Structure 1
Amino acid sequence: MKSPTAVPSSIVARNAIVLIAVVVAAAALVWLADILTPLAMAIFLLIVIDGVKRTIEQKTPLPHRWAGIASLIVVVLIFAGSIAIIINGAAGFFGQASGVANSIGPRIDQIITDVYGLFGVPSPPTAQDLIQGVNISRYIGSVAVQAQGVASGAFFVLVYLGFLLASQGSFRRKLVAMFPDGAQRDEALQVFQRVRGGVEGYIWVQSVTGAMICVAAWILMKAVGLQNAEFWTFVIFVVGFIPVLGGAVGGLAPPLFALVQFESYWPAAILLIGLQIILFIVGNMVQPRMQGDNQNIDPVAVLLSLALFGKMWGVVGMFLSTPLAVMAMAILAEFKGSRWLAVLLSGDGQPYADDGKPKPKRRGVSPRKTAAGSDAPSS
């Protein structure tokens, strides 16, 4: 019988230290959630602004400084437009919903009766019976606290973003001071470019595929006659940035509201089947072709990242879960002791793409290069 392969104690100790460091880092992320959540969102917006600025520089004759101002204006206008859509859409949604408020209770009772009838269960409960033991005031108070938290969080995001934009000009000087050696500086730039390329690729893919889904979903909802289809279209686009759960919410929320709006079940069934077909085609045929090497993340890692950051940072954590996973994979791949974690996170066992050009070999990393390009960070 062949004896088992002996694992060097140094490798075991190194891997154990890496695992302990991951656990400690996760505990710190939970403990500092109130501080780190708006900071992470501000960094995400900063990357978006930087990507828009480079696109403007490439597509227009604007100089570097004016391109930065234009990108900031574009992102602010998009943010303001999104807020306006949410406010107007929510107002229209609740205004139209109030028109059918008197029929909601009887309609829900009828739905419950029909569902119980399918299974041959007599004497179904009413909607009043189901919500009788629910403490409505407690949930209203919880919603109010969440709304207050969102407002304060948005304020701190803008504060962090302002300071990050102000300090962005000195980033290159800090990088030179931190890494006097040219090879180390190039390697640090490659890590930054890989993180930036992964996040920008994620934003691009989700935005384009989300727009495709929203156009088809809006046409379907208008054809069925669903009230306030524009509001639901925007909801589908926003929740599309949340992996797994976003598609479920976007595909189920409009049909559920259609159950209450229409007396017949056919509009809700058409919406449910149609939205699922749209989500399936875009999610399984269009999106994988667009992702390429930018999101070389294992699906299990995406699900675990969603659960982990959702548990630690709530909705913001779920929204940023995939970009944070891309960032973690890029950083872990740079160190010999943690590269095995990056391999586990990657989809094909290669934490970053190989384009055939050599990369400085440091800390035991094979000569590879980022798929995000070779542009240095903006100064």
Structure 2
Amino acid sequence: MHNDLQVTGAGEKRDSNRLQTGAVVIIAFAVVLFLLVQARFMLITLATAIILFSLTSDVITFIARQRIGPFRIPNALASLVAMVLIATALLMLASILLAQVNTVLVTTLSYTERAPSAIASLFAWMGDDSELAVLNALRSIDVQSYARTAASQASGIMQATVLVILFVGFLFAERIWFQTKLNNFVGNEAQAVRIGKIIQSIIHRVNYYLLVKTLISAITGGMVFLLAKAFGLELASSIGIITFVLNFIPNIGSIIATFLIALITHVQIGDSAVTLAIFSISAVIQFVNGSIIDPMLMGRALRLSSFGIILSLAFWGAVWGVPGMFLSVPIMVMMLVVCSYVPGLRPLAILLSREGLAETEQMLDQPLDHDLFGHERRR
């Protein structure tokens, strides 16, 4: 009887500990989620700065390897050149985006009168009542209010750009001390080397993903621009740039871009046959570039579960909005690599990976091929 009571008491204690642990995990998740939402602007700019810094680490190494006669370019000069290039590229990109947003908003306001009728005509096959219902619903939308909101949000692009440049600059200033800080923080040289390899694996994967995605998005945007130009669309340049940007959003970005060009075509031209032709050609461009060429170039650099990408997209989109959608894949790549090398989190890495295979310790020391800068890249 006494032994039975002891066993029962031990079981109740374990259940109580599990309940407490579960409650602590739920509370911690709620607190982290609250902080992610409340500090979204700062965290988004910081995450963007870290990604840009990791990307330019390979650029700095590439520049530092170059020689001018018998002299090698100093690392400090390479860092300065990379920083200037980043700042210039970001400011130019922000200026282009602001100009295109302004163009789109002005054109949208000019189409306010005829857009509802043109869009409602797409539902004519459902009957006059359905077409009239859609027309009334569209006319009730205050387009000018949405345009003002979009303009006010777009004005924050330049502020975010300046903040990202500052963050990247300070990361460059601390770059030479990272390894020393890591060694002192861990207190174990072998463990510090292992963590350093994990960080490099994350950097190489994210860099390769961004470079390939930029290349594919630029090709897709250019082809869509030529398509819009061929059909005489007024917003051809804006459509090409928007397509380029939207293709960084996994899965749904290309779908939105395809429907967007079809909608603009129908509002401007009003011919269903032309709209269908542009929609079909744009869909083929997106499919070939996104579903055939993109996976071929990515290879094993992006071994993420498609369902996991959708979940990551939905979660970070809900937490950080549109910027969260752009950052969802790099964040997921980081989670996959980190979880692979933490024993307690390996089951999560298996769920996040495409084939159900987590990273192994041997992969940290197994160079396979080279990235776009000629550096060895790991699986």
Q: TM-score, normalised by structure 1?
A: 0.80
Q: Distance in 2 between matches of 1:317 and 1:109?
A: 34
The verdict on how the C-alpha distance between 1:63 and 1:243 changes in structure 2, with shifts beyond 3 A counting, is same
What is the CA deviation profile of residues 35-84 of structure 1, one whole-angstrom value per residue up to 9, with x for unaligned ones? 32221121122122223223334566533222222222222232233233
CA displacement at 1:105 relative to structure 2: 2.5
Corresponding position of 1:317: 324
Q: Does 1:304 align with 2:311?
A: yes
Offset of residue 135 of structure 1: 5.0
Question: Shift in Å at residue 312 of structure 1?
Answer: 1.0
1:220 and 2:230 matched: no
For structure 1, the 5+ residue unaligned runs are: 1-8, 360-367
- Counterpart CA distance in 2 for 1:93 and 1:140 is 10
Query: How far apart in 1 are the matches of 2:125 and 2:101?
Result: 35
1:131-177 superposed Cα distances (whole Å, 9 cap, x missing partner): 45445575456435534554543343333223222222211221221
Deviates more, 1:133-142 or 1:214-223: 133-142
8 Å Cα contact 2:83-2:169 kept in structure 1: no
Identify which of 89, 93, 97 aligns with 2:100: 89
Q: Partners in 2 of 1:294 and 1:91 — Cα distance?
A: 37
Paired residues for 1:201-220 under 5 Å? 201-220=208-227
In the alignment, the residues of structure 2 paired with residue 198 and residue 80 of structure 1 have an alpha-carbon distance, to the nearest angstrom, of 26
Structure 2 equivalent of residue 73 of structure 1? 84
Distance 2:287 2:186 in 1: 47
Aligned pairs, how many? Answer: 353
**In the superposition, relative to structure 1, how do residues 133 and 109 fare at CA in structure 2: closer, same or farther (>3 Å)?**
closer
Q: Which residue of 2 aligns with 1:331?
A: 338
* Partner residue in 2 for 1:35: 42
* Map of 1:6 onto structure 2: none
Greater RCO (Cα-Cα under 8 Å, separation 6 or more): 1
Q: 1:109 corresponds to which residue? A: 117
Q: What amino acid does structure 1 have at the position aligned with 2:88?
A: L
After superposition, residues 89-238 of structure 1 pair within 5 angstroms as 89-93=100-104, 101=110, 105-106=113-114, 108-112=116-120, 114-122=121-129, 124-125=131-132, 129-135=136-142, 139=146, 142-143=149-150, 145-147=152-154, 149-238=156-245
Judge conservation of contact 1:202–1:295 (CA < 8 Å) in 2: yes
Question: Which string of whole-angstrom CA distances, capped at 9 and with x for unpartnered residues, describes residues 312-361 of structure 1?
Answer: 1112211110000011111122211111111111112223377x66x6xx
Q: 1:66 is aligned with what amino acid? A: L
Q: 1:18 to 1:57 in 2, by over 3 A?
A: farther
Q: Map Cα deviations across residues 275-311 of structure 1 (whole Å, 9 max, x no partner).
A: 1001111112111111122211101111111111111
Once the two structures are TM-superposed, the CA of residue 260 in structure 1 deviates from its matched residue by: 1.4
Tell me the equivalent position of 2:6: none
Residue 124 (structure 1) shift:
4.0
C-alpha change, 1:275 and 1:353, in structure 2 (3 Å) is farther
**Are 1:293 and 2:304 an aligned pair?**
no
Deviations 1:7-62 (A, max 9, x none): xx89x96x969965666644543344343222112112212222322333456653
1:346 pairs with 2:353? yes
| 129-138 or 276-285, larger mean C-alpha shift | 129-138
Change (3 A) 1:231 1:137: closer
TM-score normalized with structure 2 length: 0.80
Contact 1:220 1:271 in 2 (8 A): yes
SS of aligned partner of 1:297: coil
Task: Name the counterpart of 2:8.
Answer: none
- What is the percentage of aligned positions where both structures have the same residue? 24
Unmatched segments (≥5 aa) in structure 2:
1-13
Closer/same/farther in 2, CA of residues 68 and 214 from structure 1, 3 Å limit: same
Contact kept in structure 1, 2:266 and 2:275, CA below 8 Å: yes
User: Cα RMSD over matched residues?
Assistant: 3.5
1:126 positional shift: 7.9
| TM-fit CA distance, 1:225 | 1.6
Cα distance in 2 between the residues matched to 1:135 and 1:148? 21
